[in-house]
Structure 1
Amino acid sequence: MKSYSEDKYDPDVNPTVTSSFITAAFRFGHSLLPNVVERWSSTHKFI
């Protein structure tokens, strides 16, 4: 059985990430952000 903990270079493996996957990841991540970002001072008061 092949161990996946081997740190060997395999030139046949394509390490690139597809544009569609990157776009979906950014859209999902940004959908979690609120529409308004609250700002707080160093004394923990709303600005």
Structure 2
Amino acid sequence: MRIAFDLDNTLIRCGYDFPLEKPKRAMLAKLLGKEELRQGTKEIIDYCH
């Protein structure tokens, strides 16, 4: 089974205000990108896996 997520306004904030995850490695997260993920994203991806 394949599951697709629309990143904008679903997992990544783009104009809508929702709680965000706090990255475990903040410096690495800043180097790799500036989008922060919605709170609970890791858990839902782990569940789907």
Name the TM-score, length of structure 2 as normaliser.
0.23
Larger Rg computed on CA atoms:
1
TM-score by length of 1: 0.24
More relative contact order, 1 or 2 (CA 8 Å, 6+ apart): 2
